[in-house]
């Protein structure tokens, strides 16, 4: 029974640890890459709005999602009464910024894409834009982002450590259970 539990901890801990560490490295690496390759600029917030993210599960593997104006939600529900819609309000901001070649860009992006939790009209915020596609913007790395992915990385590291320890305990237990051969002198 102990061997079964140790095997479970070893395999589950290894896979979960690898997945968590891999996700942290991928998400962190992607964001760090964007911070080094995108151009930093100051943007002014022109408007704060909300759109509704409507989704439903069509089948076990198919998920339908659409972003609509929140005023349209009752009409969509009335047209499709058989569908159980999940509706989430998502804040958006309209921003304006000037690129390095003096081109003025207006963009509407999710507030979360700017790595912010709130915004005020008229506020100046730091953003990063792609030099190849100036209307593609992102926010600079913030402390909450680093903290969240660091926690995932550390949890993954600890799980891999437990898996390694469980493997050592299983091997030690297998060695102790083997019968000892006694030498007989003839």
Domain limits, the chain: 1-38+132-173, 39-129
pLDDT tens for each residue of 129-178? 988 888 889 888 888 888 999 999 999 999 999 999 988 888 887 656 65
d(CA 140, CA 114): 7
pLDDT at 115: 86
pTM, full prediction: 0.65
Pairing of strands 86-98, 137-138: unpaired
Q: What share of the chain is helix, strand, coil (3-state, %, to 5)?
A: 45, 30, 25
Helix spans in the chain (H):
2-37, 73-79, 143-177
pLDDT tens for each residue of 12-55? 999 999 999 999 999 888 888 888 889 999 999 999 999 999 98
- For the segment 76-96, the average pLDDT, to the nearest whole number, is 90
């Amino acid at each position: 029974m102990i061997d079964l539990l140790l095997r479970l901890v070893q395999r589950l801990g290894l896979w979960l640890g690898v997945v968590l560490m891999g996700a942290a490295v991928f998400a962190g690496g992607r964001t760090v890459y964007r911070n080094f390759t995108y151009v930093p600029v100051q943007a002014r917030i022109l408007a704060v709005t909300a759109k509704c993210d409507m989704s439903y599960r069509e089948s076990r593997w198919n998920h339908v999602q659409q972003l609509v104006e929140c005023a349209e939600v009752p009409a969509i529900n009335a047209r499709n009464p058989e569908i159980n819609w999940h509706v989430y309000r998502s804040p958006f901001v309209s921003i304006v910024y000037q690129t390095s070649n003096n081109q003025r860009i207006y963009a509407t992006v999710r507030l979360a894409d700017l790595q912010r939790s709130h915004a005020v009209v008229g506020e100046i915020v730091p953003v990063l834009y792609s030099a190849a596609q100036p209307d593609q913007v992102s926010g600079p790395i913030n402390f909450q982002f680093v903290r969240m992915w660091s926690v995932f990385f550390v949890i993954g590291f600890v799980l891999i450590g437990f898996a390694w320890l469980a493997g050592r305990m299983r091997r030690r237990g297998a060695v102790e259970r083997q019968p000892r051969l006694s030498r007989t002198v003839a």
